[in-house]
Amino acid sequence: MLEIHDLHVAVGDKEILKGVSLTLKQGEVHALMGPNGSGKSTLSYAIMGHPKYTVTKGSISLDGKNVLEMPVNERAKAGLFLSFQYPSEIAGVGLASFLRTAYNERTGSKIGPMEFMKTLYEKMALLKMDKDFAKRNVNVGFSGGEKKRNEILQMAVLSPKYTILDETDSGLDVDSLKIVSEGVNALSGPNMGVLIITHYQRILNYIAPDFVHVLVNGKIVKSGGKELALHIEQHGYDKVV
């Protein structure tokens, strides 16, 4: 269980999140919706531990362990995964060797390149990615859609317990969105909890959420089922608040 309790987060002197509480269980899909500037991405960065985001109050725990005390890499090893809105480019580093190291860190194993390629190609097929992709440098020269697909590929390889999809739908055309969503659906199951962070309802047509939360001005102002997302789609955020 990923438990976020009364979380306050500041960037510099500015408080962005003003007491957010949310509980994500393995097997559940939650959607966090909100207008621009509501603090959606701040929540995802704070959970993963970006050094610019300071938690001033509240707690995050993962299966009972205090996440806030863990360095970023320990959070990843414990089973947290963040699909970035803007993934970094790592020049000169091949995707396959990068992912193999990440895999070995996450699982504590020492799997060799040959054996790893089998796993990697399997997951790539699932996301309809060409094998050549594995040879490319991490995110270098990738299109927006390729970057997002690559994030989901990493999720597939690392099999996290809890995944945060930060605006994964932004910048994706319909076909890519479909492939990415199908990938998430195929991979999520009783062992993975998913938190979808999005501005629009669109992605929720493909990945059905169990719960929808609306974040406005650093606070969750409303929670409900799938129908809440449709309601927002029809009436806008203003009417919901």
Q: How far is the CB of 82 from another protein (least distance, A)?
A: 5
What DSSP element (H or E) covers 236? helix 226-240
Per-residue x/- mask for another protein, residues 55 to 84, rule CB under 8 A? Answer: ----------------xxx-xxx---xx-x
Q: Does 102 bind another protein (CB under 8 A)?
A: yes
Q: What is the CA radius of gyration of the chain?
A: 18
Q: Is 169 left (phi over 0), alpha (psi -120 to 50) or beta?
A: alpha
Cβ atoms of 216 and 18 within 8 Å: the answer is: no
Using the rule CB under 8 A, give the single segment among 5-13, 50-58, 120-128, 227-235 that binds another protein: 50-58
Measured CA to CA in angstroms, residue 187 lies from 84, 100, 190, 202, 207 at distances of 18, 19, 10, 20, 12
Site map (CB under 8 A) of another protein, residues 160-199, x = contact = ----------------------------------------
- Judge contact between 92 and 137, C-beta under 8 A: yes
User: Six-digit token pair at 113?
Assistant: 């390149």
For residue 216, the surrounding DSSP H or E stretch is strand 211-216
Identify which range of 6-14, 90-98, 109-117, 189-197 contacts another protein by CB under 8 A: 90-98
- Of 12, 14, 64, 91, which lies in the binding site for another protein, with binding defined by CB under 8 A? 91
Q: Is 88 in the site for another protein (CB under 8 A)?
A: yes
When binding is defined by CB under 8 A, the residue of 92, 141, 189, 190 that contacts another protein is: 92
Cβ atoms 153, 163 nearer than 8 A: no
| Segment interacting with another protein, rule: CB under 8 A, options 55-63, 96-104, 114-122, 218-226 | 96-104
- Interface positions with another protein (CB under 8 A): 48-52, 71-73, 75-77, 81-82, 84, 87-88, 90-93, 98, 101-102, 105-106, 137, 154, 158
